[in-house]
Structure 1
């Protein structure tokens, strides 16, 4: 994934429906507070900080350490360590759906933002203790080079 150089404000101006744009504007300060990093565009993902990944296969690259994308159907929140690492918190979050490493929220007003902040913070912490803004998780991969949470 690569940074685009597009401004976050420019990206948000084109987000529809309006509910997604409003929710994204509310998430910006939450992610900035949790990560201590400014928002940058990584494709269509609003990312914060970055880490370097390297799989056992040799594939490597850079990605945001935390991020979300306001999509038409729902806001997608990317969780580095996967949703399984957050089961207990997700039970307290409020209405949402999940994928393997994504949390989907249709209405930010319906979820507990304090719990969401805990989830984002825990996911970032799973990247390990290397300094911001670049973290390398090569030492934390499982079978086939799949990323695993740092313990």
Structure 2
């Protein structure tokens, strides 16, 4: 059996966490992404570990994880799009300046991207995870 993940939901305040983001642009972008993900999931934001804001949850073979989440890191905004980006090349081509990892979308700032396209990526991610894991 796999070990439980170290990143777990906490009782820490998400508004306080976002308010503590030093860069004002990053802080404003975090507020916007938080609202967008909250609307997409109809779930409240929860701080997972020390730096990930997650929405909803699902149980995977490796433990509980948020359906979708993000972290306003110093270098960039990291969005966790759990099913990855397979089949989303149409949206990624229209998104704007970004980089991807297997399930991570890296953005320098929201001003660099099309927010409507980002919302579609988030909506697809949430729908995929709910189809796969229920909820």
- TM-score bin (small chain): 0.7 to 0.9
Scaled by the length of structure 2, what TM-score is found? 0.88
Q: What CA distance in whole angstroms lies between the structure 1 residues aligned with 2:87 and 2:56? A: 21
Query: Which runs of 5 or more residues in structure 2 are unaligned?
Result: 1-6
In the TM superposition, what is the alpha-carbon distance from 1:131 to its structure 2 partner?
Answer: 4.4
1:26 aligns with 2:32: yes
Aligned length: 127
- Return the index of the structure with the highest Cα Rg: 1
* Aligned CA-pair RMSD: 1.3
Once residues 54 and 115 of structure 2 are traced to their aligned partners in structure 1, the CA distance between those partners, rounded to angstroms, is: 18
Residue 83 of structure 1 aligns to a residue in which SS?
A: coil
TM-score normalised over the length of structure 1: 0.79
Alpha-carbon separation, structure 1, partners of 2:58 and 2:76: 25
Whether 2:76 is the aligned partner of 1:74: answer: yes
Shift of 1:16: 2.5
Secondary structure of 1:104's counterpart equals: strand
Q: In structure 2, what is the equivalent of residue 8 of structure 1?
A: 14
State the distance in 1 between where 2:130 and 2:53 align. Answer: 21
